[in-house]
Amino acid sequence: MFRVLVVDDDENVNMFISRLLVKKFKCEVAWAKNGLEALSMIKDFKPEVLFLDITMPVMNGIETLTALRSDSDTKTLPVIMLTAVSEKNIVAEIMRLGVFDYMLKPLIYDTTILRIKEIFERIKKAEEERRITKPPQPDYIP
């Protein structure tokens, strides 16, 4: 299915989401403990989807998302924010920065599976629409 990078400083959250993505959705998964580590992994791993915690040491999720959106290679990468924060101003900020969706913690097994399934279906649909509206570009233009 998708190549996914999970970024959270809580190892239990990383393992929980990673296992779900591998077992239930057949994804290829890597994970990082903070935004700085994630940014250094992105070039080599080339994720198609990113699950990103907001509150992390070293580089938090909003700083990471800002860096992703300022890079032409990751500007349109679907990012799903993971957060225990439900304050409207924080949610408004992450939506302004162009997240694809967000999931509230604590993550509950059945609910998380349904949310991920719904999110992946929306990502596939958005990719199909992008393919239809944007004709393929030739590799070489003389």
DSSP per-residue string spanning 78-111:
-EEEEES---HHHHHHHHHTT-SEEEESSP-HHH
Q: What is the pTM of this model?
A: 0.84
Q: Assess contact for 1 and 26: CB atoms under 8 A.
A: yes
CA-only gyration radius of the chain, Å: 15
Q: Which residue has the higher pLDDT, 141 or 72?
A: 72
Measured between alpha carbons, how far is 117 from 130 in angstroms, rounded to an integer?
20
| Residues 90-105 pLDDT 10s | 777 777 778 888 888 8
